[in-house]
Amino acid sequence: MARLLPRRSRIGVVELHGVIGTTVHPGAYFQLLDRLERAPRVGCVVLDIDSPGGSVAASEALYLKVARLRQKKPVVAFIRGTGASGSYMVACAATRVIATPSAIVGSIGVISLRPVVAQLMERLGISVSVSKSGPLKDMGAFYRPPTQEEEQKLQSLINELFGTFVQRVAEARHVEMDQARRSATGEVYAAGRARELGLVDELGDFDAALDMAASLGRVPRRVAYLRPPRSMRERLLERLGTWAMEGLWEDTGLPTTHGLWYL
């Protein structure tokens, strides 16, 4: 029976669940996607996405990796629950995007958050001595408010990253930049509205995503789940860290580290 199957006889399924850059570690996924790119028996890949996004660098890196994989074999992005911001960017690298009718899609934008504890430090009698090579070397420091120049430079950086995001959406969804910008308000959309806006191709469940993958890859509907390899220590530390960090994230709705985020 095995001889009757085509050489590319499987659909590879990769789960992208959680925050990109913390729960979803790009390095481990790079290795996995490299394996899928070289795997002769995998004719198509389904990315099972349920993620609020994540760091700019990690999301961008995954987008580029999936885009490279797509050059070798079809990729279907299946948005199971949430495909927002950075994870939606990753979905845009796929050949086709399908979402469950109840999925949340969009949140196209960039955000930068950092705590400023200058007043608290003052009340506690804590000061910080800084020696620096230039006026912007401690830009983003937690121990003082940003200057007007720093805010302008940060906004310029955000605008540039946002422009790249919108351009990727426009190219992936085959729409004009103006249309992509109109959808890129930072808001999230129900899957039906996202389809009307051209952000997804179809609505359907996981079985529909597998059917789409089988058709695009011209392979039987045989599924192989692939997950990044992790040691026992990594699994334990990740689980403990994830409980704490994602609990704080859920309570506040904000990232727990300073940086630029596709959220």
Q: Name the CATH superfamily, with its identifier, for domain 2-112+177-262.
A: 2-enoyl-CoA Hydratase; Chain A, domain 1 (3.90.226.10)
The full set of domain ranges for the chain reads 2-112+177-262
Q: What is the pLDDT of residue 98?
A: 98
pLDDT at position 236, please? 58
Q: How would you class 55 by CB atoms within 10 Å of its CB: exposed for 0-12, middle for 13-18, buried for 19 or more?
A: buried
CA–CA separation, 210 vs 31, rounded Å?
23
pLDDT for residue 232:
61
**Both tokens assigned to 36:** 């899928």
pLDDT of 258 over the 60 cut? no
CA distance 135 to 143: 15
* pLDDT computed for residue 244 by the predictor: 54
Q: Determine contact, residues 169/176, Cβ cutoff 8 Å.
A: no
pLDDT digits (tens, 9 = 90+) for 96-121: 999 999 999 999 999 888 888 888 88
Q: Name the pLDDT band for 146 (thresholds 50, 70, 90).
A: confident
Lowest mean pLDDT among 20-34, 105-119, 220-234: 220-234
Largest interatomic CA distance in the chain: 77
CA–chain centroid gap for 91, Å, is: 8
Is residue 243's pLDDT more than 70? no
Q: Give the pLDDT band (50/70/90) at residue 4.
A: very low
The label of the residue with tokens 């830009």 reads 139
Conformational region of residue 219, where left means phi above 0, alpha means psi within -120 to 50, and beta covers everything else: beta
Helix axes 56-72, 26-38, angle to 10 degrees: 0
CA end-to-end distance (rounded Å), the chain: 47
CA 172 – CA 190 distance, rounded (Å): 20
Axis-axis angle for helices 56-72, 148-173 (nearest 10): 20
**Section 37-52 average pLDDT:** 94
* DSSP one-letter string for 122-187: HHHT-------SSTTTTTT-TTSPPPHHHHHHHHHHHHHHHHHHHHHHHHHHT--HHHHHHH-SS-
The larger pLDDT score, comparing residue 228 to residue 50, is at: 50
Q: What mean pLDDT comes out for the span 219-230? A: 86
Model-wide pTM > 0.95: no
What per-residue confidence (pLDDT) applies to 1? 36
| Residues involved in catalysis | 85, 137
Q: Average pLDDT of 149-178?
A: 93
Segment 57-82 shows an average pLDDT of 96
- In whole angstroms, what separates CA 193 from the centre of its chain? 20
